[in-house]
């Protein structure tokens, strides 16, 4: 549903002594992906937080197929798999820009909580936007 | 099988603007956990690499229950779930030291590869050590 | 001499529990800045390394004036202050894109070394490019 | 004045494709050093923050002499160089544990601010502790 693409060029600081990107760093680009997904919907994580709702990660899974290396440009493709009463699931594919090869694939599940960490309902603006996308997958807001 | 414990105190640099540890950082402490697990067996990742074998992560999964915060001491409990022909799976539990509460739980799967990234067999020293542990779970080498 | 600009949007993972960017992360954007400076000159750090020359950082200084926050877009302005026989010095200004406010200012000094860590001369391609820039500051290669 | 030592074992995730520790990571161990320095004085950064005072870094300098590598144990030696009306300066030496070789040396300067980022006076407990140390350098609180 509504794939959003973001680009990033690998720094030396993202790599490790094996000469490839350290595995934990892909999770930062998953975050970049979901931030950009929200932005592309006219939503903003920053605004959601100002309204008192946070979406900490409750689960992450990641499958590493081909390593990215210094100076590679990667493309993160982000989608929403589902939105529930109080949670959301994003899926990600990270591709190498030069040849489109899929490097990494994964997902994150998030709970919605208030400022005190108590579970709250999925914000209405997200639900409405998802419904729009389901009715008209090409709509861009 | 043979739980190994390692300790770490959370830095400011490990936290994020939500006031809690950023999710990607737990993967670094998974790494700390498996390094210490190997060391406790009399094995060493550094030596394994000198012998030409690397063990890049092929999958990671992580479930976040309770957030760690700045200055918390965490304990990583690491175990091997299985060793196969050319792979190994570690499982991890991250506890808060003060009250033993489980914060995070997860696993990593690793392939064994040579310096050119080609799959190789699980190093014999690891297989032998695992067999010893299965025969006598209390053995510490 | 020949300012090169690069952009980056702050992730949650770049911030800390004070709600601002953790200080160590600016050094990664200094790296982004010098990579882009080299690229803008038609040079490439990756190629330089393939030719056997590395440029590890020997000194870094950083002055933090105003903190960047989650979702801010920062602009890194990178310049070369000098090139010597076997070293190079980059200076950086990090600005907030929305209002041009200077957030951070700093420099790095790098030694040129070969694959064994022995000091080597500044690569000829860099020296030549710097000379061109000094003769004609507007030249873009 | 009152050197405090802290230990850390280098992870794979701390290294980069040059096979050595990435330069930004030393700043995290500077933070570990000053946290431990405060703790050794019976002070705590966490408590200071609960009292409403923060100490963001305003300047950092770092000189890199010898690189640390994966699995090395490093020792951070932290000292206070001075305390002023509204600031504090820490100096750091990072040594390799096996041979005591100095790898890195640097300093950080911090301003004291309240929750709104306004400059405040150096907390009295820190001033008193520093005065004690100056009168009796061997005192450990």
Range of the domain at D67: 4-135
Residue D137: predicted pLDDT? 63
Residue B141: predicted pLDDT? 46
Chains that touch A (3 or more CB pairs under 8 A): B, C, D
| Strand A4-9 to D87-96 pairing | unpaired
Instruction: Find, among C110, C61, B34, the residue nearest to D18 by Cα.
Output: C110
Domain count, chain C: 1
Residue B141 lies in a domain: no
pLDDT digits (tens, 9 = 90+) for D86-104: 999 999 999 999 999 999 9
pLDDT digits (tens, 9 = 90+) for C115-127: 888 999 999 999 9
pLDDT digits (tens, 9 = 90+) for C12-56: 999 999 999 999 999 999 999 999 999 999 998 999 999 999 999
Residue A93 lies in a domain: yes
Residue C141: predicted pLDDT? 46
The rounded percent of chain A whose pLDDT value lies above 90 is: 86
Judged against a pLDDT cut of 90, whether residue C137 lies above it is answered with no
Judged against a pLDDT cut of 70, whether residue C139 lies above it is answered with no
Residue A7: predicted pLDDT? 98
Buried residues in C14-53 as b, exposed as e (16+ CB within 10 A): bbbbbebbbbbbbbbbbbbbbbbbbbbbebebbebbeeeb
Residue D135: predicted pLDDT? 86
Chains that touch D (3 or more CB pairs under 8 A): A, B, C
**CB within 8 Å: A13 and C35:** no
Does pTM top 0.90 for this prediction?
A: yes
| CB contacts, 8 Å: B116 with chain A | none
pLDDT confidence bin for C140, thresholds 50/70/90: low
pLDDT confidence bin for A105, thresholds 50/70/90: very high
Judged against a pLDDT cut of 80, whether residue A14 lies above it is answered with yes
Rounded to a whole number of angstroms, the distance from the CA of A61 to the nearest CA of chain B is 4
Residue C42: predicted pLDDT? 92
**CB within 8 Å: A56 and B18:** yes
| CB contacts, 8 Å: A70 with chain C | 45-46
**CB within 8 Å: C13 and B22:** yes
Q: Are B38 and B44 in contact (CB under 8 A)?
A: yes
pLDDT digits (tens, 9 = 90+) for C59-86: 999 999 999 999 999 999 999 999 999 9
pLDDT confidence bin for A135, thresholds 50/70/90: confident
Out of B14, B16, B51, B136, pick the active-site residue.
B16
Residue A141: predicted pLDDT? 46
Residue D89 lies in a domain: yes
Judged against a pLDDT cut of 60, whether residue D66 lies above it is answered with yes
pLDDT confidence bin for D1, thresholds 50/70/90: low
The CATH code of the domain that includes B130 is 3.10.129.10
Q: Are D90 and D33 in contact (CB under 8 A)?
A: yes
Which member of A11, A13, A46 has the closest CB to residue C71? A46
Residue D141: predicted pLDDT? 46
Residue C140 lies in a domain: no
Residue A16 lies in a domain: yes
Residue A87 lies in a domain: yes
Q: Are A11 and D12 in contact (CB under 8 A)?
A: no
Rounded to a whole number of angstroms, the distance from the CA of D139 to the nearest CA of chain C is 32
Cα B64 versus chain centre, distance: 16
pLDDT confidence bin for A134, thresholds 50/70/90: confident
Q: Which residues of chain B have pLDDT under 70?
A: 1, 137-141
Which member of A27, A46, A71 has the closest CB to residue C70? A46
Q: Clarify whether A99 is annotated catalytic.
A: no
Arithmetic mean of pLDDT, D61-67:
98
How does DSSP classify residue D134?
H
Q: Give the full edge-to-edge strand order of the sheet including C102-111.
A: C4-9, C73-83, C87-96, C102-111, C57-64, D57-64, D102-111, D87-96, D73-83, D4-9
Which residue on chain B is closest to C20 by alpha carbon? B17
Which member of D13, D18, D19 has the closest CB to residue A22? D13
**CB within 8 Å: A28 and B27:** no
Residue D141 lies in a domain: no
Residue B124 lies in a domain: yes
| CB contacts, 8 Å: D23 with chain C | 27, 56-57, 60
Query: Three-state SS string across B18-68, please?
Result: CCCECHHHHHHHHHHHHHHHHHHCCCCHHHHHHCCCECCEEEEEEEECCCC
**CB within 8 Å: A59 and B58:** no
Arithmetic mean of pLDDT, A45-59:
94
Residue C136: predicted pLDDT? 77
pLDDT confidence bin for C135, thresholds 50/70/90: confident
């Amino acid at each position: 549903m509504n794939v959003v693409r973001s680009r990033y060029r690998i720094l030396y600081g993202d790599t490790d002594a094996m000469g490839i990107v350290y595995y934990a760093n892909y999770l930062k680009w998953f975050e970049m992906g979901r931030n950009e997904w929200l932005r592309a919907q006219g939503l903003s994580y920053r605004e959601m937080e100002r309204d008192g709702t946070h979406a900490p990660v409750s689960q992450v899974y990641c499958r590493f197929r081909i390593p990215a290396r210094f100076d590679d440009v990667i493309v993160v493709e982000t989608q929403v798999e589902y939105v529930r009463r109080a949670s959301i699931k994003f899926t990600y594919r990270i591709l190498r820009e030069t040849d489109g090869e899929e490097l990494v694939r994964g997902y994150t599940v998030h709970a919605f909580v208030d400022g005190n960490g108590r579970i709250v309902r999925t914000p209405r603006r997200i639900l409405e936007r998802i419904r729009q996308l389901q009715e008209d997958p090409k709509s861009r807001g």
